[in-house]
Amino acid sequence: MKSKIAKLVAVGVLASTLTACNAPTMYVHGTVYQDYGMLDQDRQDPKIIYEPNWRNIVLGCIFFETIFAPIYVFGFHCMKPVGVK
C-alpha cells in the first residue's frame, strides 16, 4: 500500500512540476519577456515590471521534499513579467 501511495505522489509531483512551472511570457512590440529567478537574474529587463509568481512559489514550498521543485522554481521561475514601466 505504501508503495502505491509513494508512486502516486511521485507521479503527481512530476506532473505538477512539468505543467505548473512553465515559463510565463509577455510580448511587447514583438519582444518576448520571460520570468526569472535567483539563478538567472540576467534575464531581468529594467524596462519591465515584475511581480512574484505566487503559484510557482507555493508549489515550490509544497514540494520542498523533492529538492528539484524548489531549486527549479526559486532559481528560474520566481518573478514574472506583468507590464512595462
Tens of pLDDT, residue by residue over 38-53, are 999 988 889 999 999 8
Tens of pLDDT, residue by residue over 11-64, are 777 766 665 555 567 887 888 888 899 999 988 889 999 999 898 888 888 888
CB 28 within 8 A of CB 45: no
Structural domain span for residue 41: 2-84
Q: Report CA-CA distances (Å) from 72 to 24, 31, 44, 85.
A: 14, 24, 17, 27
When divided into structural domains, the chain yields a total of 1
Q: Give the residue from 22, 9, 4 showing the smallest Cα distance to 73.
A: 22
